[in-house]
Structure 1
Amino acid sequence: MPEGHTLFALARDLDTAFRGTSPTVTSPQGRFAQGAALVTGHEVLEATSWGKHLFVEFTGDRILWVHLGLIGSFRIDTTSYAGELPVVGQVRCRFATDDHVADLRGPMVCDVVTPEKVDEVLARLGPDPLRASDIRSDPELAWRRIQRSGKPIAELLMDQSVLAGVGNVYRCEVLFRLRVNPFRPGNKLQRKTWRAIWEDLVALLPLGVATRRIVTVHEQVDAVAQALEAGEDVRLTTRDSYVYKRQGEACHVCGSRIRTQLVAGRNLFWCGNCQRRG
């Protein structure tokens, strides 16, 4: 499932391509025909995201709400609408202007909703590390929910009502980066440990937006941060992780074997020797 940085970048790209335009919105697959009819020809005011949820606001208080789920994708192409790109696969929703076509495939949620419904959705979500400057994205809200729970922190980090946008890769990698025991109950977690987790996510997710990759290994994090600060192109030639999908391999730090276990429906990866804090 795409994590928060992917949705943030997608919202940014949709906003760039369609803000201020009045796209033709259709449902080639047919399953979204009624929703498409509600927004087609309306001006796009803004495309935003919160965690793993995408919102495209149109005039008339009509908002397209999308959650990609496990298999969804929303691809934007530059094209001449006069020639219209052929529909490939099961396209739930298509935006089209003279300059761009965007095709949504396989979403878990695709619906036209009111601003009140968006407020209801956001109220169910925890703070988003990519929206750290937003008054609604308060890490203290997440901390209060963590404190009240006896569930492992590795499970709580996947709960979107606790923290929005964090998925399996970020939870595994951040817990390793901070040497946190993934099975530490939330109500036993130290406050300073939670603050360290939050601050690490606030630092890492924007790098994911910039590179369109999850970057967590310290050397790569430093290289990306320096390149962005200098206004240079970011070039990463290798894909690496500390623990994610490295079960049975040697830990990069201590040499112990990386372990795996199903937690919150996804395979958690961790180093039992390094990750003892909490």
Structure 2
Amino acid sequence: MPEGHTLHRLARLHNQRYAGHEVAVDSPQGRFAIGASLVNGRVFESAEAIGKHLLHHFGPDRTVHVHLGLYGKFTEHPRPVTPPQGLVRMRVIGPTHWTDLRGPTACDVLTEEEVDALRDRLGPDPLRADADPGKAWRRIENSRTSIAALLMDQRIVAGAGNIFRAEVLYRLGIPPLTPGRDLDEATWKAIWEDLKELMEYGLRVGRIDTVRPEHEPEAMGRPPREDRHGGEVYVYRRDSQPCLVCGTPVATAKLVSRNLYWCPTCQAG
């Protein structure tokens, strides 16, 4: 599932290409036909991301909400427009470009009240200027749930996913099963700032890299990581491989139906 920086990159791109212009919106597949008819021909006012949710605003009570889920994907194209290929849930056509959306978990039109409800149920997003990390801390400081599970809960922190969760805990040497209530506020602030730094880098370059300069392939004389997710990481999807810092095999376990990765030595607490 794409992590939050991917949705922010999409919002930035769609603002550049469509904001301020009338756009054609259609649903070649048919599953979004009613929703598309509500915004077709309207001015695309703006796009924004909140965690893993993308919002296309078309005016009062006309916001297209997209959650990509595991299989959703946008494809971007310059004009001229070509016939749909495959199951296109939504097509947006602007003056210079067009966008196809396939396979999302959610694609629907929300009222202003429903958009407000979405904002209210999500935690702070490290990539948003209006984020309040204190809102997350108030949920974490009394929780018996592990910090690894809390960071994946979009009601607590919006946008962080499995990669950012594993990597920020490694970078700060925090045992992933530490209950939230066993952390102090200074540690939470360090987690938040590191999440913000890593996600802002991902937003700029379009990929997740979490290793510090001294642990990059060139500095260590090791081959670059080969993985379909790309990027240089410390522990994510590196189970049983030696830790880049101490050499201990990276451990893995299931936690809340997701794979958790950590170094038993560097994150011993």
Please state which band the TM-score falls in when normalised by the shorter chain: over 0.9
Equivalent in the alignment of 1:21: 21
Q: Distance in 2 between matches of 1:48 and 1:29?
A: 25
TM normalised by structure 1 equals 0.89
Asked if structure 1 preserves the Cα contact closer than 8 Å seen for 2:17 and 2:94, the reply is no
Deviates more, 1:158-167 or 1:145-154: 145-154
Q: Residues 220 and 87 (structure 1 numbering): CA distance in 2 closer, same or farther, change over 3 Å?
A: farther
Relative to structure 1, is the Cα distance of residues 19 and 220 closer, same or farther in structure 2, using a 3 angstrom cutoff? farther
Deviation (angstroms), 1:60: 4.1
The CA deviation string for residues 8-32 of structure 1, in whole angstroms up to 9 with x for no partner, is 0001101111101111100000000
- In structure 1, C-alpha distance between the alignment counterparts of 2:215 and 2:55, rounded to whole Å: 29
SS of equivalent residue, structure 2 residue 244: coil
Correspondent of 1:119 among 116, 119, 124? 116
1:7-18 matches, within 5 Å, as 7-18=7-18
**1:195-218 CA deviation, whole Å, 9 max, x = no partner?**
100000111111101111011111
Equivalent pairs counted in the alignment come to 258
SS in 1 for 2:21: coil
1:89 lines up with 2:81 in the alignment: no
Identity of aligned residues (%): 48
TM-score normalized by structure 2?
0.92
Displacement after TM superposition at 1:89 (Å) = 1.4
Would the aligned equivalents of 1:147 and 1:189 in 2 still touch at CA under 8 Å?
yes
Q: 1:257–1:221: structure 2 CA closer, same or farther, 3 Å change rule?
A: closer
Q: Distance in 1 between matches of 2:187 and 2:79?
A: 48
Deviation of the 1:221 alpha carbon: 10
Paired residue for 2:260, among 268, 274, 277? 268
Question: Are 2:247 and 1:250 aligned?
Answer: no
CA distance in 2: counterparts of 1:212 and 1:244, whole angstroms: 17
Is residue 141 of structure 1 aligned with residue 135 of structure 2?
Answer: yes
1:46-103 Cα shifts (integer Å, max 9, x gaps): 00001001000003431001100111011221112xxx21211110000013411100
Cα pair 1:14 1:76 within 8 Å, conserved: no
* Structure 1 consecutive aligned stretches of length 4 or more whose deviation exceeds 6 Å: none
- Name the stretch that deviates more: 172-181 or 59-68: 59-68
Kept in 2, the 8 Å contact 1:215–1:221? The answer is: no
**Secondary structure at 1:244's aligned position in 2?**
coil
User: Residue by residue, what CA displacement relative to the aligned partner does 1:161-190 show, whole Å, maximum 9, x if unpaired?
Assistant: 000000000000110000000000011112
Aligned to 1:201: 195
In the other structure, the counterpart of 1:62 is 62
* 1:220 Cα offset (Å): 8.6
RMSD: 1.7
- Unmatched tracts of structure 2, length 5 or more: 217-224
> Which ranges of structure 1 fall in alignment gaps of 5 or more residues?
223-235
- Show the counterpart of 2:162: 168
2 CA distance for matches of 1:221 and 1:211?
19
Contact 2:87 2:102 in 1 (8 A): yes
Please state how far the C-alpha of 1:276 moved relative to its aligned partner.
Answer: 2.5
Q: Who is 2:107 aligned against?
A: 110
- Cross-structure match for 1:186: 180
Distance 1:60 1:191 in 2: 40
Q: How far apart, CA to CA, are the structure 1 residues paired with 2:8 and 2:231?
A: 21
Aligned to 2:4: 4
CA contact (8 A) 2:60 2:111 kept: no
Alignment partner of 1:45 is 2:45:
yes
Partners of 2:140 and 2:60 in 1: how far apart?
Answer: 39
**Residue type of the alignment partner of 1:269:** Y
